[in-house]
Amino acid sequence: MGEFIDLKAAEGHVFPAYVARPAGAPKAAVVVLQEIFGVNSHIRAVADGYAAAGYLAVAPATFRRVKANVELGYDEADMQAGIALKAAVEALPAPGVMADIQAAIDHAGAAGKVGIVGYCWGGLLTWRAACNLRGLSAAAPYYGGGMTGPDEVARKARIPVLAHFGKKDRHISVDSVLAFKRAHPDVEVHLYEADHGFNCDHRGSYDAAATTLARERTLAFFGKHLG
């Protein structure tokens, strides 16, 4: 359904993005932000799913500034490789990868209003985008790693945000999620009986019920704010 194209950030950095188009004219657009495993088959499938729902979906390769052609799996070696790549990107001078996300938003904007969704590290970047970037109308971070830490809680979203977390997530405590919600009563926060990564059917933590419910909520949320 989709294909890779090249996008260019404001300062000239060129990076690939997977673009999936709906069968007819798009009703709006969704930027899809990867986990720490690259724009792999799972993230491409997520983008395809948003295209099937009528959106132009754009999934930028957010590792490209430190390494090209990253497509990892979910075993321990790939997990460690992804953690190292994430650390390298996070260490870049500002604005770093946020410039690439802005370029993806700008490209997606040709289809109308733009929402953004991201998973794990992509969830964290989705929250940052909701607070700092332009051209967005709604954001839906999934289990954003670090999103409930003090530095991130101190940010203020500029747009409506719907956040998904798992009650069994060992990386993001329920207490920290509840503290985040208290700090941001305007953010719609949902907790599921699920673990970190519950949306990814390539992982052992995949939870079909939580995935279905979170997707229904996200599509309704985007329908409200991107329609």
Catalytic residue among 100, 169, 195, 207: 169
**CATH assignment of the domain containing 189:** 3.40.50.1820
Q: What local confidence, expressed as pLDDT, does residue 214 receive?
A: 98
Q: What local confidence, expressed as pLDDT, does residue 74 receive?
A: 96
| CA dist., res. 227 & res. 214, Å (int) | 19
Q: What local confidence, expressed as pLDDT, does residue 227 receive?
A: 84
| CA dist., res. 133 & res. 102, Å (int) | 6
| CA dist., res. 75 & res. 58, Å (int) | 26
The backbone region for 121, taken as left when phi is positive above 0, alpha when psi lies in -120 to 50, beta otherwise, is: alpha
What residue numbers bound the domain in which 137 lies?
A: 2-226
Catalytic residue among 120, 164, 200, 225: 120
Helix extents (H) in 19-149: 41-52, 76-90, 98-108, 121-132
pLDDT tens-digit profile, the chain (227 residues): 699 999 999 999 999 999 999 999 999 999 999 999 999 999 999 999 999 999 999 999 999 999 999 999 999 999 999 999 999 999 999 999 999 999 999 999 999 999 999 999 999 999 999 999 999 999 999 999 999 999 999 999 999 999 999 999 999 999 999 999 999 999 999 999 999 999 999 999 999 999 999 999 999 999 999 98
User: Which residues are 2's β-sheet partners?
Assistant: 20
Catalytic residue among 42, 107, 196, 225: 196
Known catalytic residue: 207?
no
Known catalytic residue: 6?
no
Q: What local confidence, expressed as pLDDT, does residue 66 receive?
A: 98
Tell me how many degrees the CA angle 28-31-209 measures, rounded to the nearest 5. 95
Known catalytic residue: 151?
no
Q: What local confidence, expressed as pLDDT, does residue 90 receive?
A: 98
Domain count, the chain: 1
Instruction: Give yes or no for a contact between 115 and 136, defined as CB atoms under 8 angstroms apart.
Output: yes
Q: What local confidence, expressed as pLDDT, does residue 92 receive?
A: 98
| CA dist., res. 203 & res. 142, Å (int) | 15
* b/e sequence 111-141, b meaning 16+ C-beta within 10 Å: bbbbbbbbbbbbbbbbbbbbbbbebbbbbbb
